Amino acid sequence: MEDKILLAHGSGGKLAQDLVKNIFFRALENPLLAKLDDSAVLDFNGKLAFTTDSYVVHPIFFPGGDIGKLAVCGTTNDLAMSGAKPLYLSLGCVIEEGLPFKDLDRIVNSIKVMADEAGAQIVTGDTKVVDLGSADKIFINTAGIGIIPDGVDISGHNARPGDWIILSGTVGDHGIAVLSRREGLDFGTSLESDCAPLAGMVADMIEVCPEIHSLRDPTRGGLASTLNEIVAQSNVGMKIDEKEIPVREEVMGACEMLGLDPLYIANEGKLVAIVPAKDADKVLSCMKRHRYGKDAVIIGEVTGDHPGRVVMRTSLGTSRIVDMLVGEPLPRIC
């Protein structure tokens, strides 16, 4: 077998079959995928969540993860943010000719490990190969299907004045970790992406509080953009407190050096939960018991005032409007 991907591996012929068998199936095999028909056939009954994301992160390997880990965490997290239990994933890869097999193998193995942790199976897939220079190593798309438990209705449209806003941990880790590897910057040895599958923690949270109003993972655009999306969808305001928002020292240092605001930096293993005030303590305790929520904090509340606006009390004691991200400080972060 060659040690690099050739154009013919994308052909639909023998070499393509070898690639599927030797790399994708070896890691991912399950009875649904093994049927190799044009679609996977699944039995279903209930309310289903369906989502998709493409991943173009550069570099494809970074501290704390790789593009495969990201492709499973990102999509299963999107399902979890609708309250769904992730069940099935599709996997579409666009590969640049010349990608070493060992890199592809490592990525596919990350996909397997993360899918197992998230409780999802890869049941259908597709691989295209493009000529050298027509893509940057590998782009991955995953679409996901999950099932939403009866009675759960979680949406960015459901935030209500009086709700409390919980953040699951530090912000900015993923964006700064990817940036540091890409630019060869060294902001401290310990900084890793927070990339993680959150579906398990979300299932626990829903068990203690089936009335969670909104969940969202602050990826591209960071915490600031996520909160702005929710205030717009629910036509409410928010008051948050800067000193409650946890930021790692290395992330703060990097942001100061580069003129970035950690509130706008992408995360890949964090979530924001909007919950009725009466349930906030039990949801917070539930999150703190979980490895991905041990630093969870209440960062503010939903208000009926200034609908569509997120207002932050700064650490200096003044107030400022936290707006949507406008430009693009960090491209290709996910």
Instruction: Output 34 or 208, the one with its CB closest to its own copies.
Output: 34
Shortest Å, Cβ 323 to its own copies: 8
| Bond prior to 331 in cis (omega within 30° of 0) | no
| Bond prior to 197 in cis (omega within 30° of 0) | no
- Per-residue contact string for residues 78-97; x = within reach of its own copies by CB under 8 A: xx-xx-x---x-xxxxx---
Binding segment (CB under 8 A) for its own copies, from list 59-67, 177-185, 216-224, 241-249: 216-224
Q: Is 315 exposed, middle or buried (0-12, 13-18, 19+ CB in 10 A)?
A: exposed
Shortest Å, Cβ 206 to its own copies: 15
Least Cα distance to 56 among 266, 230, 270 occurs for 266
Q: Out of 1, 3, 31, 41, which residue is the one contacting its own copies (CB under 8 A)?
A: 41
| Three-state DSSP state, 66 | strand
Find out whether 222 and 328 touch, Cβ atoms under 8 Å: no
Instruction: Name the β-bridge partners of 128.
Output: 94
The verdict on 225 binding its own copies (CB under 8 A) reads yes
Q: Out of 1, 31, 39, 184, which residue is the one contacting its own copies (CB under 8 A)?
A: 39
Rounded to 5 degrees, what are φ and ψ at 298? -85, 125
Classify residue 38 by its DSSP letter: S
Q: Is 149 left (phi over 0), alpha (psi -120 to 50) or beta?
A: beta
The verdict on 52 binding its own copies (CB under 8 A) reads yes
Please tell me the distance from the alpha carbon of residue 69 to that of residue 241, in angstroms, as a whole number: 32
Classify residue 323 by its DSSP letter: P
Site for its own copies in 266-305 (CB under 8 A): 266
Instruction: Output 48 or 253, the one with its CB closest to its own copies.
Output: 48
- Per-residue contact string for residues 132-151; x = within reach of its own copies by CB under 8 A: -xxxx--x-x-xxxx-x---
Shortest Å, Cβ 92 to its own copies: 4
Q: Out of 116, 131, 186, 305, which residue is the one contacting its own copies (CB under 8 A)?
A: 131
Instruction: Output 133 or 317, the one with its CB closest to its own copies.
Output: 133
Q: Out of 2, 22, 50, 132, which residue is the one contacting its own copies (CB under 8 A)?
A: 50
Number of residues that bind its own copies (CB under 8 A): 88
Vertex 123 angle, CA 118 and 128, to 5° = 110
Instruction: Output 219 or 303, the one with its CB closest to its own copies.
Output: 219
